[in-house]
Amino acid sequence: MATDSSHSPELTPERSSNPAETAGIDASLRTPLVALIGSALVWLLVASVLGLVSAWKLHTPAFLDACEYVTFGRLQPAQTNAFIYGWGFNAAFAVSLWLMARLSRAALPGCGVLLVGTLFWNLGVTVGIGGIILGFSTSIEWLEMPGFASPLLLVAYALIASWSLVVFRAGRSGQIFASQWYLIAALFWFPWIYSVAQVLLVFAPVRGTVQSVVHAWFSSNLLLLWFGSIGLAAIYYFLPKLLLKPVANYYLASLAFWWLVIFGSWAGISTLIGGPIPAWVQTAGAAASFMLVVPLVIIGMNHFGTLAGRWSALKDNITLRFVAFGAAAFSLVLLAWVLTSIHGIAAVTQFTFVTSAQAQLGLYGFFTMVVFGSLYYIVPRVLNTAWASAPLAGVHFAASALGVILLVGSLAVAGITQGRLLADASVPFAAVTKATESCLFAGTVALLILAIGQLAFALNFFWTLARASACCVKSAKGLLSAHSEAAR
Amino acid sequence: MNRAPIIFLGVFFALAFSFVGLVLTNQITYGAFTTHVDEEEGKAFPLPAPGLAAQGKLVYQDLGCVSCHTQQVRRAGFGADTGEHSRGWGERQSVARDYLREERVLLGSVRIGPDLRNLAARKNAEGADFTADWLYRYLLDPKLVVADSDMPRYAFLFKTRQIVGEPSPKALKLPAASAPAAGYEIVPTARGEALVAYLLSLKDTYAYPETKNVYTPPAPKKAGEKKEGHE
């Protein structure tokens, strides 16, 4: 890699902006970001509680089984939806808005509509999750929220996401960095896949198993092209910025981007291998999944090539640690995707906990970890104050990393055990369930560890927020008294 | 890549490509699939579900049964769903036509419990056909009928009430240990009845043209092994 990179596009993207300008951008984002991050954290904790109860039920079925509102079939979708739409989307909005503003070098022109959108979004998620618990679930995985909540979400999405594009259009940056490609793609895709899925599955259902195709298309795109894009945007931004070096092999990044968006949007169908859908669809899905090898290699080269030789930097930078963990997890997500679309492997892993392990690896190991890392960088700049507690941040990282590894590992082992035993018809079904119990218990412990990390983070965030607002009040008072003194 | 319009257009066409290729093409081709009219029987298969079963499906949906149960029998040789030395979850693999009349297709994604697609045509743990009474007892407390079952109880689908006059014909016949107090009986609620009617309607036994002459690879297991079934 050339050492003289002061003019190359792959170095820290907004290098030509001055500190006063970035401070102005950060200040303009303060209110909406506090609202988004605050609500994201509340949902994260709600999802954790729901997740712990439903995980406990997996190995202790008699736990809380007298009341229909807390059956596994309702709590588990409630947990997933709280995590995806409550935590995931609020956090993704916050990170994408901040990244877009910084990269485009534009301050937010106003935040009223954005706040209304945030309010509506959270209202929609609350109504939706309440609906699931009360028995209005659609029973469509990742779309369980009833039809009376989803239009609200779409409207709120439009109110929030359009601001990222407004900021992009108003920007003064001459170039478009890799992070921005991913952000533009993600912001544009979600309303499309979500509205198509809502119409074709909930409001005017298509016939028969075309529904399954639409559903697989939606859920894989949500994971890979929405959460994937937002996470990748953050990784592409923070690695060069914090390591003060250009992205390695940046010239390949655009190839990976186009490859991922073209084949990634077809890859989800591989979950339907062996299903009651046309054979060509299954084959196309498997082939597209296999094509993910290319972005896997290129994105790996971009990320780990940038990190190479600078591993010591991980020690003293919490953002970098989280982001590097997320980058590694993303490689594993793609690798697992490729592997489980191979026929012989799918025969074992299909319909087992391996699918949950994959979802957790993508949603927690990759997306959530990258978002945590980003927030460690964003929050102090937006609030204009340092994090309240460094030890809490350390606890957060340790608990998150350990929890993710234990959770994904235990679910994967449980799933492979389950898949192998299910394929052997001489093993009674109950014995299959028994064989996975210890792994599922380990999964519950992992969720508990993750929850400790989340609590540490939430505590740290609200503490920092309280300090920042106390600081604001103090300086305002100081200003007032200085003013009155001057008047005197 | 520094031109915003190119990125926007590219992003649009990439998703349009998969939308047209996967969603639209499938909807246009096999989304127009029709029922199979059997001239001999004078019926169009798959048969429509009876009204109570259709209500039961809503109960199945609202309780989130799909979180643990799939409804899809994979072909012989892919897993152990059907065919020789299999769990006997179906007489044949599920095909697209089986789901034609379903307003919501619930294939499911994880088998924490057994597949239910062909439940009503299978044998229960005792080797007999599934009956409403068996399913009622199973839902009330799974351990009553299958000692090592790991399914939670769905006791809220039942109510205990005082016997007034004649005992109800729907009252559950329970062993003494779990029977209600004298003068009381346990009967399914309307939702419980609907759910069981739905479960008993899950039966894919009709052989469509596309389910015949399907290649089934020889089972890898040795002959003479115990054939394990159901539950």
Residues of B in contact with A65 (CB under 8 A): 152-155
pLDDT at site B231: 41
Amino acid at B203: K
Taking CB atoms and an 8 Å limit, are B15 and A192 in contact across chains? yes
Structure tokens at A200: 């074709």
Please judge whether A176 and B109 are an interchain contact, meaning their C-beta atoms are less than 8 angstroms apart.
no
Closest by CA position to A288, among listed B16, B21, B107: B21
Render pLDDT for A90-112 as a digit per residue (tens, 0 to 9).
999 999 999 999 998 889 988 89
Residue B68 has its nearest CB partner, among A72, A281, A418, at A72
- State residue A119's pLDDT score: 97
For chain A, positions 106-135, list CB contacts with chain B under 8 A. 132, 135
Q: 3-state SS string over chain A?
A: CCCCCCCCCCCCCCCCCCHHHHHHHHHHCHHHHHHHHHHHHHHHHHHHHHHHHHHHHHHCCCCCCCCHHHCHHHHHHHHHHHHHHHHHHHHHHHHHHHHHHHHHCCCCCCCHHHHHHHHHHHHHHHHHHHHHHHCCCCCCCCCCCCCCCHHHHHHHHHHHHHHHHHHHHHCCCCCCCHHHHHHHHHHHHHHHHHHHHHHHHHHCCCCCCHHHHHHHHHHHHHHHHHHHHHHHHHHHHHHHHHHCCCCCCHHHHHHHHHHHHHHHHHHHHHHHCCCCCCHHHHHHHHHHHHCCHHHHHHHHHHHHHHHCCCCCHHHHCHHHHHHHHHHHHHHHHHHHHHHHCCHHHHHHHCCCHHHHHHHHHHHHHHHHHHHHHHHHHHHHHHHCCCCCCHHHHHHHHHHHHHHHHHHHHHHHHHHHHHHHHHHCCCCCHHHHHHHHHHHHHHHHHHHHHHHHHHHHHHHHHHHHHHHHHHHHHHHHHHHHHHHHHHHC
For residue A199, what pLDDT band results from cuts at 50, 70 and 90? very high
Report the pLDDT value the prediction gives residue A16, as an integer from 0 to 100: 57
Cβ-nearest to A76 among B10, B14, B64: B64
What does the pLDDT read at residue A5? 38
The answer to whether the beta carbons of residues A292 and A270 sit under 8 Å apart is no
Three-class DSSP category at B145: helix
Tokens of A263: 């084949």
pLDDT in tens, A397-419: 999 999 999 999 999 999 999 99
- Exposed/middle/buried for A17, CB within 10 Å: 0-12, 13-18, 19+? middle
Q: Residue B73 pLDDT > 60, yes or no? A: yes
Nearest residue of A to residue B81, measured between CA atoms = A423
pLDDT at A18: 79
What the block records as the tokens of A445 is 């412990």
Angle between helices A369-383 and A19-28 (to 10 degrees): 100
Interface residue A394 vs chain B (CB under 8 A): no
Q: Which of A163-172, A363-372, B206-215 bottoms out in mean pLDDT, i.e. has the lowest?
A: B206-215
Position A351 scores a pLDDT of 95
Tokens 């606890």 -> residue: A395
Q: Which of A121, A34, A31 is nearest to A84 (CA)?
A: A121
Give residue A3's pLDDT band: very low, low, confident or very high (50, 70, 90).
very low
Residue B227, pLDDT score: 44
3-state SS track over A420-442: HHHHCCCCCHHHHHHHHHHHHHH
The CA distance from A74 to A103, in Å, is: 41
For the stretch A54-75, pLDDT in tens is 999 998 989 998 899 999 999 9
> According to the model, what pLDDT value does residue A480 have?
78
Beta bridge partners of B187: B159
Closest Cα of chain B to A358: distance in Å? 12
Residue B102 is predicted with a pLDDT of 92
Least CB-CB distance to B150: which of A132, A277, A433?
A433
Instruction: Give yes or no for A278 touching B (CB within 8 A).
Output: yes
Contacts of B79 in chain A (CB under 8 A): 274, 347, 350-351, 422-423
Summarised one tens digit per residue, pLDDT across range B2-45 is 788 899 999 999 999 999 999 999 999 888 888 899 988 889 99
Decide: A191 and A198 in contact? Cβ < 8 Å: no
The CA distance from A380 to A377, in Å, is: 6
Query: How many residues does this entry show for chain A?
Result: 488
Say which DSSP state B12 is in. H
Q: Is the pLDDT of residue A318 over 90?
A: yes
The kind and range of the H/E element at B135 are helix B132-140
Say yes or no for a CB contact (<8 Å) between A66 and B155.
Answer: yes
Task: Give B93 to chain A, closest Cα distance, Å.
Answer: 8
Task: Taking residues B128-138, report their average pLDDT.
Answer: 93
Strand (E) or helix (H) holding B160 = strand B158-162
Q: Any CB–CB contact under 8 A between A355 and chain B?
A: yes
Q: How far is CA A436 from CA A352, A360, B15, B100, B214, in A?
A: 10, 18, 39, 35, 34
Interchain CB contact of A259 with B (< 8 Å): no
**Residue of chain A whose Cα is closest to the Cα of B100:** A208
Closest CA to A253 of A187, A164, A182: A182
Distance in angstroms (rounded) separating the CA atoms of residues A461 and A459? 5
Are B104 and A138 inside 8 Å of each other by CB? yes
The token pair at B205 is 């036994």
Distances (CA, A) of A45 to A51, A121, A170, A379, B68: 10, 17, 36, 19, 24
Mutate one of B73, B117, B150 to test the A interface: name it (highest A CB count within 10 A): B150
Predicted pLDDT of residue B117:
94
Pairing of strands B43-45, B158-162: unpaired
Answer with the residue of higher pLDDT: A487 or B183. Answer: B183
Residue showing tokens 């390695």? A248
Cα A429 to chain centroid, rounded: 35
- For the question of an ipTM over 0.85, the answer is yes
Rg (CA), chain B: 23
Calpha distance B198→B193 (Å, rounded): 9
| Chain B residue with Cα closest to A219 | B109
Yes or no, beta carbons of A209 and B8 under 8 Å apart: no
B81-105 pLDDT, tens digit per residue, is 988 888 989 889 999 999 999 999 9
Q: A355 with A271: CB under 8 angstroms?
A: yes
Residue A452 pLDDT: 97
Contact status of A151 with chain B (Cβ, < 8 Å): no
Q: What is the DSSP letter of B19?
A: I
Mean pLDDT of A450-473: 94
